[in-house]
Amino acid sequence: MSDTATSGGVEAFDAVDLIHTKRDKGELSTAQIDWLIDAYTRGYVADEQMSAMTMAIFLNGMTRREIRDMTMAMIASGERMSFEGLGKPTTDKHSTGGVGDKITLPLMPLVAVFDVAVPQLSGRGLGHTGGTLDKLESIPGWRANLTNQEMFDQLRDVGGVICAAGSGLAPADGKLYALRDITGTVEAIPLIASSIMSKKIAEGTGALVLDVKFGSGAFLKDIERSRELARTMVDLGRDAGVATSALLTNMNVPLGLAIGNANEVRESVEVLAGGGPADIVELTVALAREMLALAGKTDVDVEAALTDGRAMDKWREVIRAQGGDPDAALPVAKETHTVVADRDGVLVEQQALPFGIGAWRLGAGRARKQDPVQHAAGIDLHAKPGDTVRAGQPLFTLSANEPARFERALEAVQGAWRIGDPGEPVLDGGPLIADRIS
């Protein structure tokens, strides 16, 4: 319990007064925010009251100081990890999520090649955005849950880890996130920023790179809103003493060619083998350079580590360290359905969000946190915007264990792609990396 919680059994503040302040566009003090987060974590402030507060924040915003105070209060609700005893720098990456975003899988081993520890705490998918842990659990034997000591030992011995965040890290955030999800306040930038950064700062990494996405398949569609979120999080990292930068990246088109779980692992392995789709390679290399630069490693050849096998060797080492078999066969769906081009031309449009929803309906995602995923379900794209296609040529293949799922998945992607004439503008939203914020 914090010092601001009670005095002689009497609470320091009243939740209704704080709600009034924020409702009327006022500013909460540091002491008020500390009390609010602590009291909500303790159960003194009710969900109904915190729901009113999150809506007031959604509508009226918070100052940079308020956001910083909320982030630090959420960190203080639990434990803080430290990797000072590793004897090497630590650097991490967080993505705001998208369709086909499997970048963490090739990125973590690539960065770990250069004697930098990568403590990659990851999550599960919900809705149309996939989860890194769900993808990796396609690998037989691989386990997501490690103790803090196991995580430290693996970082020391192997150099990288991808695992679930323990319940002891920023428990206030877990409680608040669940509330935001059912009250229509998920998109509030102060709440997004404090949620992400409280866990990353509590994790103890020395450097952090943020992959903040915009576009059709992103959490925030508008690039200016994504830029505001990126700047807010970079400021929070700097204020907390964590070297932080952000890349604004395009999520109007699915990343890579695979959308799902097991098929995204396969594509990640292709990248680690020196191949894979150009956009996945481009973003993986850009984020690796950014992470390594923040960790003080600037004179390194990142591309060489992908092509000469070092990143693949590290991947295999990390998978084995967490009980997985990197040589085991990945799940394959029982049923497939392929959609072909109805005319000659150029693929000029391929919207990310509908394809993400389609993969979700096939079983690759979950509607509720407790739902299982079907690791073999998903969509494999056979063409990307700008590609020339011929009538009858496969455009994409749906995979599922139950053929009854195909109808609703096809409904989701109906109208999400278009074949145009040569010379017609390609609607891909521009370059993959739109901006860098530091």
Closest CA to 78 of 158, 171, 156: 171
The beta strand positions in 169-251, using DSSP E, are: 207-214, 243-250
Phi, psi of 232, deg, nearest 5:
-60, -45
Cα of 162 vs its chain's centroid, Å: 12
Spot the catalytic one: 22, 68, 94, 102: 94
Active site annotation includes 199: yes
Let me know if 337 is a catalytic residue: no
Q: Which of 199, 200, 297, 314 is catalytic?
A: 199
Strand positions, DSSP E, 96-157: 118-122
* Residues 398 and 362 sit within 8 Å (Cβ to Cβ): yes
Catalytic residue among 38, 101, 134, 173: 173
Q: Which residues of 113-150 are buried (b: 16+ CB within 10 A; e: fewer)?
A: bbebbbbbbbbbbbebbbbbbbbbbbbeebebebeeee
Is 25 a catalytic site residue?
A: no
Annotated catalytic residue within 180, 200, 297, 361: 180
Find out whether 416 and 350 touch, Cβ atoms under 8 Å: yes
| Cα atoms found within 13 Å of the Cα of residue 6, Cβ hemisphere only | 8
Q: Which residue, chain included where needed, has tokens 């020196």?
A: 274
Whether residue 234 contacts residue 200, with contact meaning beta carbons closer than 8 Å, is answered with: no
**In this structure, are residues 249 and 209 in contact, taking their beta carbons and an 8 Å threshold?**
no
Q: Which of 77, 122, 194, 195 is catalytic?
A: 195
Q: 304: burial class by Cβ within 10 Å (0-12, 13-18, 19+)?
A: exposed
Please check whether residue 390 is in contact with residue 351, taking contact to mean a CB–CB distance below 8 angstroms.
Answer: no
What contacts 161, CB < 8 A, 6 or more positions away? Answer: 108, 118, 119, 120, 146, 151, 154, 155, 318, 321, 322
Residue 235 designated active-site: no
d(CA 271, CA 320): 19
Residue 94 known to be catalytic = yes
For residue 95, what is the DSSP state?
Answer: E
Catalytic site positions: 94, 173, 180, 195, 199
